[in-house]
Amino acid sequence: MVRDGIYYAAGSLAAGLMLVWLGLGWFSIPFLLFGAFCLWFFRDPQRRVPSGPVAVSPADGKVMSIVAEKSGLTRISIFLNVFDVHVNRTPVGGVVREVEYHPGKFLVASKEAASESNEQNTVVVETADGVRVMFKQIAGLIARRIVFSGHVGDVLETGQRIGLMKFGSRMDVLFGPEWEITVKPGERVRAAATVIAKRRDR
């Protein structure tokens, strides 16, 4: 379980138990339910990371779209609903070259406009052979707290935990022409376990 979930759950459960102790049992129900939900929501399951020259999904969720950008990059957008695991993973291993936070709106994360307009954290990872992959943690209508645990210069392994987003969100991954996309819109993916792209030249 993610540490943040323990804090949320402990606070809510403590408030509920206090109300029970005061004889206000009915009023404690929402607090107890929310505490139990937090224990489940902030789960952090182990995953088997595929080997080879591949990129894995950075999040659990549904592939909403695959878009060819004007920049020549291909963007895969993954929507996380409130029932998905919200721990984020790096799609490729390498050195973190850029980390940039962008304040923004809180549109519904499944909308296409969220990719550009919403609050987001942009990360660029450079692989051992110099290929760069960008991914974005994008806040949603409810999720207004993006957590990224890495720093510029960090060396990451494919599928390594790098943060989370709280209560619903979106992740975009942008690939250059070196990559062949292996997923389709509508497909469900699992963080660190589902291959979303393969290197063309390796």
Read off the tokens for 112: 């296409």
Q: What separation in angstroms does the CA of 171 have from each of 10, 131, 188?
A: 28, 20, 13
Q: What separation in angstroms does the CA of 201 have from each of 9, 53, 94?
A: 47, 9, 18
The H or E element spanning position 25 is: helix 25-41
Site of tokens 């080997």: 51
- Burial-class residue 172 by CB neighbours within 10 Å (0-12, 13-18, 19+): buried
For the chain, give percent helix, strand, coil, nearest 5.
20, 35, 45
- CB of 170 closer than 8 Å to CB of 109: yes
Q: Of 12, 28, 110, 169, which is the active-site residue? A: 169
Q: Is 71 a catalytic residue?
A: no
Read off the tokens for 127: 């692989």
- Burial-class residue 197 by CB neighbours within 10 Å (0-12, 13-18, 19+): buried
Q: Which residues are catalytic?
A: 169
